[in-house]
């Protein structure tokens, strides 16, 4: 993808400051209309394979046939996420791997996969909207409680925090509290063509449910695992891999086998 992005350290510093202050940074008009059309064509073809139900593809292999490869392979993009990681941690990331995910929320399973608040395993999250519903009140908006926690020194603390939040009971409670207005997450309206950057590891986030019959598709790029190589990280990856397989089994077509990253 022939886009150019801010990539020197000073520009990355500004973006990092924006994410710290506002919860996210938005890069406008990065993906062209024709590129969006290609991404939508790929997503549509796979949405049909899944009979209009939720699916998520994780990893480079699963997405190698899509245009997303030219995003995670873009040297500017690599440099940008690397610089953001450096800005946030004052360290180099242990790995330069960018882990892509394509997520399509639709149908009944899509309802269940919504409101699933979580912290990402990796620090830098870049979100590329592909299909965003524009009609009605249930548009699958991105909800974020930004920068709730710091990067933890302790892997164990990270795992405990994730376990406390990422379970059925807490999610139901949070959904109820948001519905009643007791909790007010930041809602980020997503515009296809733009890229949204936030600290996925530090920010509790989820998408709202979508109305029946609408499709919400986003590509997500994960970069920089602060606990890379730890046993806990490996166990989380295995857990997510099994979970994604279970969901895909329910919705029909099988994604190509891959490793998972969140």
Positions touching Fe ion (CB under 5 A) are 120, 200
Rounded Cα gap, residues 260 and 131, in angstroms: 22
Rounded Cα gap, residues 113 and 53, in angstroms: 11
Is the distance from CB of 193 to CB of 30 less than 8 angstroms?
A: yes
β-partners of residue 216 are 105
- CB of residue 186 to Fe ion, shortest distance in Å: 15
Q: Which is nearer to Fe ion, 7 or 151 (CB)?
A: 151
- CB of residue 62 to Fe ion, shortest distance in Å: 17
- Helix H or strand E encompassing 218: strand 216-223
- CB of residue 188 to Fe ion, shortest distance in Å: 13
Q: Which is nearer to Fe ion, 131 or 196 (CB)?
A: 196
Determine phi and psi for 142, rounding to 5 degrees.
Answer: -80, 125
In 63-217, alpha helices (H): 69-72, 75-89, 107-112, 155-165, 168-180
- CB of residue 51 to Fe ion, shortest distance in Å: 25
Q: Which is nearer to Fe ion, 43 or 262 (CB)?
A: 262
Q: Which is nearer to Fe ion, 53 or 120 (CB)?
A: 120
- CB of residue 125 to Fe ion, shortest distance in Å: 6
Q: Which is nearer to Fe ion, 120 or 225 (CB)?
A: 120
Residue partners of 43: CB distance under 8 A and separation at least 6: 102, 104, 130, 131, 215, 217
Q: Which is nearer to Fe ion, 48 or 146 (CB)?
A: 146
Q: How far is CA 53 from CA 50, 56, 112, 259, in A?
A: 5, 10, 11, 22
- CB of residue 126 to Fe ion, shortest distance in Å: 11
Q: Which is nearer to Fe ion, 164 or 212 (CB)?
A: 164
CA atoms within 13 A on the CB side of 58: 17
- CB of residue 117 to Fe ion, shortest distance in Å: 9
Is the distance from CB of 26 to CB of 226 less than 8 angstroms?
A: no
Residue nearest to Fe ion (CB): 120
3-class SS of residue 233 = helix
Rounded Cα gap, residues 232 and 228, in angstroms: 9
């Amino acid at each position: 993808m022939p886009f150019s992005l801010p990539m020197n350290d000073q520009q990355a510093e500004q973006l990092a400051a924006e994410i710290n202050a506002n919860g996210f940074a938005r890069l406008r008009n990065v993906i062209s209309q024709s590129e969006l059309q290609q991404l939508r064509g790929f997503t549509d073809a796979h949405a049909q394979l899944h009979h209009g139900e939720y699916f998520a593809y994780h990893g480079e292999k699963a997405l190698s046939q899509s245009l997303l490869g030219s995003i995670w392979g873009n040297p500017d993009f690599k440099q940008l996420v690397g610089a953001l990681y450096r800005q946030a941690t004052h360290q180099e990331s242990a790995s330069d791997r960018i882990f892509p995910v394509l997520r399509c929320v639709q149908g009944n399973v899509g309802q269940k996969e919504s409101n699933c608040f979580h912290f990402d395993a990796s620090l830098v999250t870049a979100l590329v909207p592909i299909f965003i519903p524009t009609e009605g009140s249930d548009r699958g908006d991105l909800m974020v409680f930004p920068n709730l926690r710091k990067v933890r020194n302790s892997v164990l603390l990270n795992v405990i925090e994730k376990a406390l939040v990422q379970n059925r009971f807490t999610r139901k409670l949070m959904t109820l509290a948001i519905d009643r207005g007791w909790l007010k997450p930041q809602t980020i309206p997503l515009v296809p063509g733009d890229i949204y950057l936030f600290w996925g590891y530090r920010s509790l986030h989820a998408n709202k449910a979508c109305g029946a019959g609408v499709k919400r598709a986003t590509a997500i790029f994960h970069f920089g695992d602060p606990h890379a190589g730890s046993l806990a990280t490996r166990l989380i990856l295995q857990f997510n891999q099994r979970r994604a397989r279970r969901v895909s089994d329910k919705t029909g077509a099988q994604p190509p086998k891959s490793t998972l990253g969140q």
